[in-house]
Amino acid sequence: MSAPASPLWPAMAEAEIDELGRELDELRREVLDDLGEVDARYIRRLIAFQRGLEAASRVVLTVGARRRWAWWGGVVGLTVAKTLENLEIGHNVMHGQWDWMADPKIHSTTWEWDNCVPAEHWKHTHNFLHHTYTNVLGVDRDLGYSVLRVDRHQKWHPVYLAQPFYNVLLALFFEQMSTLYDLGYYQSTKTKTDEELKEHAKVILRKVAEQNVKDYVAFPALAGRNAVPVLLANLTANLVRSVWIHQISLCGHFPGEVPVFTEEWLENETRGRWYLRQMVASCNFEGGRLVDLLSGYLSHQIEHHLYPDLPSRRYAHLAPRVREICERHGLPYHTGPFAKQVAGHWKKVFRMAFPGG
């Protein structure tokens, strides 16, 4: 038995796939055995820095939002703080990357992030569905987010002609549109009753209301006569964060010739085959240490998909060894400059808007 050949990699004997799995498991064990105080200090300091930056930015906006320098300074600070909270902190904490610390305040079961999507919903659609069934057509709903055609195996429909335009809307309102994502899964699979769906929707609406009241009512109200510029600053920070996260997300799986798998691949999928699928269906991008941090180290998407519960700060150190393993087994290691990967996913969005592809 062997993994079928692809234009991107040669056929692999099952024994070689098993060996691949053993190598990657060993690499994982090395990191787990090495985790310690340096890692714990990193996440605690980062959370303290993020919260301090957000607080300082809000104070600057509340007091001086009518001054141009204060408004722009507050917007930049707030955008960076919100981005750090969502990507390098919230997303990774909810993956269980810091559960080994046994700190109830920094744990996947207790963390609630600064986002309209309830943490419990995100952990189901993202952590479970996407990371388990990465790029499996008909199972991984992150494949085009159920609205984009990103592979020729997806049946074409005239509505896709407009996808370059609604991809722009998806970028601008990624946070808001993501709130419907988990609900859409249950509606499409009919795994919840109508009553359960209503309760599910109530949880979403409650979280959306909390976020909107905080950013667009409470903080503007605290600013008094600066209410309008503060509201606009909060809106700007949220829009920029949304666009940034959208670009990071699409860069992770859609640029270039990244394969899509059929459900048949999942039949009797071994640990090695799961690793193989994660490696070839993920894309890295290169942009330097600041981009790594602001992307939550999803610039190392390959390493993240291989080891979603290992601390993200370790991915950059794992990358050279993962790449060497890929090369030794004749597997592709998708990576490239950030601008090239962004252009690549937009090129695919335009190309797949038309029949064929």
* C-beta separation of 302 from 284 below 8 A: yes
Cα separation, 334 vs 348, whole angstroms: 15
Is residue 356 situated within a structural domain? no
Is residue 338 situated within a structural domain? yes
**What tens digit of pLDDT does each residue of 119-159 get?**
998 998 899 989 999 999 888 888 887 789 988 888 899 99
Report field, pTM of the whole predicted structure over 0.85: yes
Which domain does 335 fall in, by range?
Answer: 2-351
The HSE-up count of residue 51 (CA atoms within 13 Å, CB side) is 8
- pLDDT of 4 over the 50 cut: no
Is residue 266 situated within a structural domain? yes
**What tens digit of pLDDT does each residue of 194-252 get?**
888 888 889 999 999 999 999 999 999 999 999 999 999 999 999 999 999 999 999 98
The HSE-up count of residue 216 (CA atoms within 13 Å, CB side) is 10
Question: pLDDT band at residue 356, thresholds of 50, 70 and 90?
Answer: confident
User: pLDDT at position 12, please?
Assistant: 83
Is residue 188 situated within a structural domain? yes
Lowest mean pLDDT segment, chosen from 5-19, 70-84, 87-101:
5-19
- pLDDT of 8 over the 70 cut: no
- pLDDT of 61 over the 90 cut: yes
Is residue 357 situated within a structural domain? no
Question: pLDDT band at residue 257, thresholds of 50, 70 and 90?
Answer: confident
**What tens digit of pLDDT does each residue of 13-49 get?**
889 999 999 999 999 999 999 999 999 999 999 999 9
Q: Which residue has the tokens 């301090």?
A: 52
Longest distance between any two alpha carbons in the chain, whole Å? 71
Number of domains in the chain: 1
**What tens digit of pLDDT does each residue of 309-355 get?**
999 999 999 999 999 999 999 999 999 999 999 999 999 999 999 99
